Amino acid sequence: MRFIHTIRRFMSINKDYLPAFYLTLGFLLVNQGLVAYINYTIGNLTDSITAANLTAFGTQLLLLAAVQLLHLATEYQVNYRVNHLSECFVKRLRIHTYKKITNASMKWLDENQLGDIISRINGDLNALVNQINTFMTWQLAGLITFVVYTAACFFIHVKLSLVSFGIVPVLAILQFLTGRPIAKLCEKRSAAEGQANSVFVGLIGGLGIIKSFRSEQHFSQKYNRQVDKTVAANVKSFSLEFLMYPLQILMGYLPNIITLVFGSYLVINGELSIGMLFSYILLSTSAMDSIGSLSWQVRNIYDTIGISERIFGIWDIEEENTDGRLITKATDIPVTFEHIQFSYRPEQPVISNISFTVRPGEHIAIVGASGSGKSTVMKLLSGFYTADAGTIFVFGNRLEDWDKERLREHISYVGQDSFLFPGSIYSNVALGSQHASEERILACIRAVGLDNLNLHTPTGERGVLLSGGQKQRVCVARALLKDADILLMDEPTSALDTESEYYVQQAVKEFAVERTCITIAHRLSTILHTDRILCMKDGQIVETGSHAELMERGGVYKQLYLKQQNEFA
Ligand SMILES: Nc1ncnc2c1ncn2[C@@H]1O[C@H](COP(=O)(O)OP(=O)(O)OP(=O)(O)O)[C@@H](O)[C@H]1O
Ligand SMILES: [Mg+2]
């Protein structure tokens, strides 16, 4: 049953709270047991009045006062425990889900749309959090009330209980039958909301392009389609729910009428006292009320099951391998690729049988046509993707044996897309080197020639308030500040003019003395002085050597170089 499955999965991350949960359940049981007992005593009190028994009346009155006091004492405990536990569950749920996202493999991030992920984290997770709070503070208590009061009713009179509670299983079955499609519809609605969100995120991110290509209509149609799907799923689930309403209303008063009629008959027949009928009615009305209010929330419960599936989808994502144990270097050889093969998608090889070694302090460049696999080599080295065959060694340890966080302490990476976070130039450079002194941060910013800008003005979302070249320089400064053993730079100067490029190169030279450096470059003039050049073509390294050696060989590299010279001539 999906409900049990949902509870089980949810509790799997809250195992350590199980004792506290059972204790809370115990308190709830005692609390509601005391209320049931109060109702029972009221019946006895009534009987002592009808029997004009003053002694019994006094005793029952004292008992009532004592139980009432005890009940008040447990009330605080119950409320405190239930709310505290609810907060703990919610906290664990949030932390677990966020952790899963941060550990997500790049493959999962590639395959999922940003808008849908945001929708799951914002919409679905918040809805689930609210539902957990409601469940813990209302529904759980309602369930316990129903169980305890029903047991009390059976204790008072079994035959009467069998007759008046007979309708409950029928309703439960009907609700179970309608609940499943409701959960499916809610899941569909959330998925459509996620898709609508994706379209929206794409729209915001690419508004300039959308406007220039006059694609507003296309995007709004796409968005409307997803919104229509959301509405359709909601309307269907509401109409299913409305089918249940007459039954739920019937459920509210039918058992009471049955109780009154059959109960009166039992009293007249001498099988039940008037006081006990009174207690019975109090208890059964409350029991029916609590199960009734629960059945009104059945849609919410099934909605939660639907939403949970989307959150569990995040829990099940392919995670980065973070269980590597090795945290120290085995040798001083920074990088070795041994017969590496890799493809993003099955049957579409991107890297085929690449082998190379980078020596300590060596500066190498990777060149080659667009799409030849240069960036992929860096992503494999950074541990973002796992090779299909072959082994990558970093400082003598196999990549998969490294603890990924420790591995990345040794690597500074400047990506091809110059990603900046909302904040200032200063905060973007300082990112990842939280303990760096202000002096050093400023030195790095100065080295890439950004000191003429206001370092504390906002850079905007993804750095939109800076020019392409400025963004690149912020990324280079960030990597230089990290001062890791291996510096990976994927086209760090592609958007710079010759003068800025010269400055950045000087900065890299200065900061990366004795550091191992791998640079990807399209403009070959920027890598002429590197120790070694790896020339890639169709996922393979076709030539290796210094600029002079490769020119002499007269192969792919020379062709590339001459072509560029002609372009700039
Ligand atoms: N995340 C991805 N999922 C699927 N395929 C990808 C992905 N990233 C890159 N590719 C494909 O892998 C191949 C190599 O891409 P890569 O980014 O390594 O090329 P590159 O040499 O860096 O090119 P460029 O010089 O244009 O940056 C390309 O054919 C590309 O379409
Ligand atoms: Mg690339």
Quick one: CA torsion of 398, 539, 415, 116, rounded to 10 degrees? -90
Domain ends where: 315, 350, 383? 315
Shared-domain flag, residues 306 and 342: no
Band the pLDDT of 59: cuts 50, 70, 90. very high
Over residues 375-380, mean pLDDT? 94
Q: How far apart are the first and last CA of the chain?
A: 73
184 domain-assigned? yes
Over residues 458-466, mean pLDDT? 78
Pairwise CA distance, residues 429 & 289, whole Å:
61
Q: Is the CB of 367 under 6 A from ligand 1?
A: no
Percent of the chain with pLDDT over 70: 97
pTM above 0.85, yes or no: no
Helix axes 167-205, 298-315, angle to 10 degrees: 50
User: For position 379, what pLDDT does the model report?
Assistant: 92
What spacing in Å lies between the alpha carbon of 493 and ligand 2's midpoint?
13
What spacing in Å lies between the alpha carbon of 534 and ligand 2's midpoint?
14
Pairwise CA distance, residues 493 & 473, whole Å:
8
Counting from 1 in the atom list of ligand 1, the atom nearest the Cα of 110 is: 1
**Spatial contact of 262 and 160, defined as CB atoms under 8 Å apart:** yes
Q: Is the CB of 516 under 6 A from ligand 1?
A: no
Question: Domain residues for 141?
Answer: 2-7+17-315
Of the listed ligands, the closest to the CA of 377 is 1
Shared-domain flag, residues 295 and 366: no
321 domain-assigned? no
Band the pLDDT of 323: cuts 50, 70, 90. low
Counting from 1 in the atom list of ligand 1, the atom nearest the Cα of 107 is: 1
Instruction: Please report, for the domain that includes residue 294, its CATH number.
Output: 1.20.1560.10
Tokens 């999922």, residue?
A: 112
User: For position 514, what pLDDT does the model report?
Assistant: 83
Instruction: Please report, for the domain that includes residue 349, its CATH number.
Output: 3.40.50.300
User: For position 568, what pLDDT does the model report?
Assistant: 58
**Helix, strand, coil percentages for the chain (3-state, nearest 5):** 65, 10, 20
Shared-domain flag, residues 366 and 232: no
> Tens digits of per-residue pLDDT, 121-169?
877 888 888 888 888 878 888 889 999 999 999 999 999 999 988 877 8
What spacing in Å lies between the alpha carbon of 337 and ligand 1's midpoint?
19
What spacing in Å lies between the alpha carbon of 383 and ligand 2's midpoint?
16
Provide the number of structural domains found in the chain. 2
Pairwise CA distance, residues 477 & 487, whole Å:
12
328 domain-assigned? no
Band the pLDDT of 64: cuts 50, 70, 90. very high
> Tens digits of per-residue pLDDT, 12-52?
999 999 999 999 999 999 999 999 999 999 999 999 998 88
Of the listed ligands, the closest to the CA of 372 is 1
Reported as type and span, the H/E element at residue 278 is helix 274-296
Shared-domain flag, residues 299 and 372: no
Shared-domain flag, residues 344 and 372: yes
Over residues 275-301, mean pLDDT? 83
Shared-domain flag, residues 265 and 198: yes
Of the listed ligands, the closest to the CA of 537 is 1
Q: Is the CB of 384 under 6 A from ligand 1?
A: no
Band the pLDDT of 569: cuts 50, 70, 90. low
Domain ends where: 315, 350, 372? 315
Q: Residue 376's Cα: distance from chain center in Å?
A: 26
Looking at residue 318, what DSSP letter applies?
P
User: For position 378, what pLDDT does the model report?
Assistant: 94
- Rank 97-101, 154-158, 250-254 by mean pLDDT and report only the highest: 154-158
Reported as type and span, the H/E element at residue 536 is strand 532-537
